[in-house]
Amino acid sequence: MPATARAQPRFGRLNVRQRLFVTTLGLLVLCAGALVSVVLWSFERFYLASAGADLGARTHAIAQTAGDLLEQGDLVRLRVLVERYGAPEDIALRVIAPDGRLLATSQHEPAENAIVWPAVPGMAEALAGRAVTGIAPGLIDVQDRIYHAVPIVRGDRQLGVVRMSRSLAQLQAHTRATVVTVLAALAVILVVGAGFVAWFARGLARPIQQMRDFAVALGRGEFGTRLAIARPDELGELAAELNRMAERLAALEGERRSFLANASHELRTPVSNLHVTLQALDGGAGDDPELRTRFVRTAVDETTRLRTLIQDLLDLGHLEAGATRLECVDTSLRAVLERATRAIEGRALDRRVSLVLDLDEELTVCIDPERIAQALLCVLDNALKFSPRGGVIEVVARRHGGRVEIVVRDQGPGIAAADRPHVFEQFYTADPARRRGGSGLGLAIARRIVDAHGGTIHVDTAPSRGAALVITLPLAASYQG
């Protein structure tokens, strides 16, 4: 198996903290290594350039004096000049005639007599009249040396060549010392950097690990836990948002539990009543025609109640899931209100409750007429349940800017201030006096239908008697102008 294939799973087993440490330390080593390489390369280039410039200046100065001595034919003084300026151990100074003969040298090595000087590096260029600088192995030893060769010219005559070279052993020693110093500094930097990277990785990975544990706890249903991460960065903002999400999940879980408990209770009541009624009929109550008729009516009523509750639960589920598709069209508001009031007119007459519809102008709204009629029927049904015999239910519609406001007002016992924020919740039972039949889902369904239309529904706090529910809906776009 290739090494990369084995390394990948091994790296994949590292946790976030270890990955941060390895990655950041690797980047630190890479950057430090690149910086050290550039520094050492720049140091070597600078030293070579400086050495070349110094060697060139000295060679040109010696070439001027050597030219004067060659014009005079004074080879003795030329050799003295060469020995004086070539005295340092790392310097080699020679003067070569145009025909390749060695005229003067600072080395005095027997091997110099066997050297073919025109073939020495730099000599061909200098004999051709060009000064040249370069690096080549030494002529006597194998050490690298930097050299500078200068032609000696007087007028149109070339009198010879001055070639001075200097050993690079000192440069190489300085380079080695510099490398050792820089590597030691790099090691210190890496040790300190590794400590800083470890601290940084631990500080960055800790909140991530806490969030992971927090998410696992939420997955187990532990909605009471909270993250204690206070940071002024994105991780702090994420932790705060996760805490808010946990609060919302806890609230939703509470609503779910309450809904299931209430739904179970509401379903159990008609089923129990129906079961008792059927048991009574099976036990002989059906032999009495009057009793049989009453029990059958009770069974029909409980079946109707159960069917209504189930339908309301289905409608509410579809609305909350967003599965209900609205078919909004420009619709006459009067037609929808009249349709909703006609639907409860029979029950209102039975209770001697009057229905009053008040529209001061013809209004057109952009709605799904079926759904808005359902919402209005839920609100009217709620008003009818709490209206006294001989009472009045008013339905008033008025235009307010680009919206229409519909107020349904009854003359019942009203809604307590503490209960008003909760009347649109499912199965709300804070005030048992207002639970007079029905599924307890009507206002919850009405609110979701109105919300889906971009409208609002709330309890009006102004009436001193009875309850008033206010629905606002957008007018049709063509009607707003």
Structure tokens at 312: 């309301």
Alpha helices in 169-224, H assignment, sequence order = 169-219
**Which residues, at least 6 apart from 186, have a Cβ–Cβ distance to it below 8 Å?**
32, 33, 36
| Separation CA 198–CA 190 (nearest Å) | 12
Side chain identity at residue 140, one-letter code = I
Side chain identity at residue 436, one-letter code = R
Nearest residue to 37 via CA among 178, 192, 191, 190: 178
**Which residues, at least 6 apart from 257, have a Cβ–Cβ distance to it below 8 Å?**
none
| Separation CA 10–CA 27 (nearest Å) | 19
Structure tokens at 48: 């070579």
pLDDT value of position 464: 62
| Separation CA 306–CA 439 (nearest Å) | 9
DSSP state of 325: P
| Separation CA 164–CA 85 (nearest Å) | 10
| Separation CA 376–CA 445 (nearest Å) | 10
pLDDT value of position 408: 92
| Separation CA 410–CA 428 (nearest Å) | 20
| Separation CA 318–CA 400 (nearest Å) | 31
Question: H/E element holding 103?
Answer: strand 102-105
| Separation CA 408–CA 231 (nearest Å) | 50
Contact between residue 440 and residue 262 where contact means Cβ atoms under 8 Å apart: yes
Nearest residue to 413 via CA among 427, 437, 432: 432
SS3 of residue 301 by DSSP: helix
Residue with tokens 């000295």, as numbered in its chain: 58
- Concatenating the DSSP letter of every residue in 267-284 gives HHHHHHHHHHHHHHHHTT
Compute how many other C-beta atoms are within 10 angstroms of the C-beta atom of residue 446: 25
> Residue 469: beta bridge partners?
408, 459
pLDDT value of position 433: 46
Alpha helices in 322-395, H assignment, sequence order = 333-350, 369-385
Could you tell me the domains of the chain?
Answer: 14-222 (3.30.450.20), 234-319 (1.10.287.130), 326-480 (3.30.565.10)
Compute how many other C-beta atoms are within 10 angstroms of the C-beta atom of residue 86: 20
- In order of 53, 59, 86, 357, the CA distances from 133 in angstroms are 9, 11, 18, 110
- pLDDT tens digits for the chain (481 residues)? 444 445 445 555 666 667 777 777 788 788 888 888 888 888 788 888 888 898 899 999 999 998 889 888 888 898 899 889 888 888 889 999 998 888 988 887 887 777 888 888 888 898 888 999 988 888 777 788 889 999 999 888 889 999 998 888 877 787 788 888 888 888 888 888 788 777 777 777 777 777 777 788 877 777 777 877 767 777 777 777 777 888 787 877 776 776 666 666 566 766 777 777 777 777 776 666 777 777 777 777 677 767 766 776 676 666 666 656 778 888 888 999 998 888 888 888 888 999 999 987 788 888 888 888 888 888 898 888 888 888 899 999 998 888 899 999 988 888 877 778 778 876 665 445 444 455 567 788 888 888 888 899 988 876 667 888 999 998 887 655 5
pLDDT value of position 209: 78
- Across 451-464, b (16+ Cβ under 10 Å) vs e yields ebbebebbbeeeee
> Residue 405: beta bridge partners?
398, 472
Side chain identity at residue 177, one-letter code = A
| Separation CA 157–CA 104 (nearest Å) | 19
Nearest residue to 378 via CA among 331, 313, 433, 440: 440
